[in-house]
């Protein structure tokens, strides 16, 4: 989905940039140019940055809560 229409920046591109360490609005603006034209996408860019940060942090943080870290995950099918 396009987040920044002015520069054709998608949510996927923002997620990838965050994974690569560009995890602030300023870093995304420098890397992808999102939010540097009309600026109306800035709140959505920030929302995508937050989502990407939480998605990246969640698996490791949650794994220890539900399964002992040395336990294999249950197999389905």
| Residue numbers at the binding site for ligand FES (CB under 6 A) | 4-7, 34-41
**Can you say whether residue 35 is alpha, beta or left, with left for phi > 0 and alpha for psi between -120 and 50 degrees?**
left
Minimal distance in Å, beta carbon 26 to ligand FES? Answer: 14
Of the two residues 41 and 52, which places its CB atom closer to ligand FES in the complex?
41
Of the two residues 30 and 56, which places its CB atom closer to ligand FES in the complex?
30
- In the numeric block, the tokens 């997620």 are attached to 15
Minimal distance in Å, beta carbon 2 to ligand FES? Answer: 8
Distances in Å between the Cα of 63 and the Cα atoms of 53, 55, 58, 59 are 17, 13, 8, 6
Of the two residues 43 and 75, which places its CB atom closer to ligand FES in the complex?
43
């Amino acid at each position: 989905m396009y987040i920044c229409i002015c520069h054709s920046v998608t949510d996927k591109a923002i997620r990838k940039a965050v994974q690569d360490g560009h995890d602030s609005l300023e870093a995304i603006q420098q890397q992808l140019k999102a939010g540097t034209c009309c600026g109306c996408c800035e709140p959505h860019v920030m929302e995508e940055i937050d989502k990407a940060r939480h998605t990246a942090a969640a698996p490791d943080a949650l794994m220890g809560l539900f399964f002992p870290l040395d336990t294999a995950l249950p197999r389905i099918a």
